[in-house]
Amino acid sequence: MILQNIYTALGDTSRPVTTREEVSRLDAPVLLVTGERSPKHYKFYYDEMRKCRDLPETVAIPNAGHAIHADNPDRFLSIVLDFLAVH
């Protein structure tokens, strides 16, 4: 998994950049999820997204790092499925 993501650390320019305007125009429910032990810089990204559009608070998965789906799969699936059931 690390090798698959290494290009993002090197400045993968093939990925599109999402602008503030694009975030503000999102017309779909958004679930922001992070791990309790995820790198703290993700909070910055979520906070910036909230400046563009009214979004719910980020859900932190207990006892999980960046690999939230693997670190606490039951809680992760529960949160995602609950979100999908409502939206």
- pLDDT-derived band at 15 (thresholds 50, 70, 90) equals low
**Phi, psi at 17, each rounded to 5°:** -90, 130
21-64 pLDDT, tens digit per residue, is 988 998 899 999 999 999 888 888 888 888 998 888 999 999 89
10 Å CB burial of residue 64 (0-12, 13-18, 19+) is buried
Q: Given this model, what pLDDT does residue 66 score?
A: 86
- pLDDT-derived band at 20 (thresholds 50, 70, 90) equals confident
In a 3-state reduction of DSSP, which class is residue 54?
coil
Q: Given this model, what pLDDT does residue 6 score?
A: 61
CATH of 2-86 given 3.40.50.300, 3.40.50.1820, 2.60.40.1890, 3.90.640.10:
3.40.50.1820
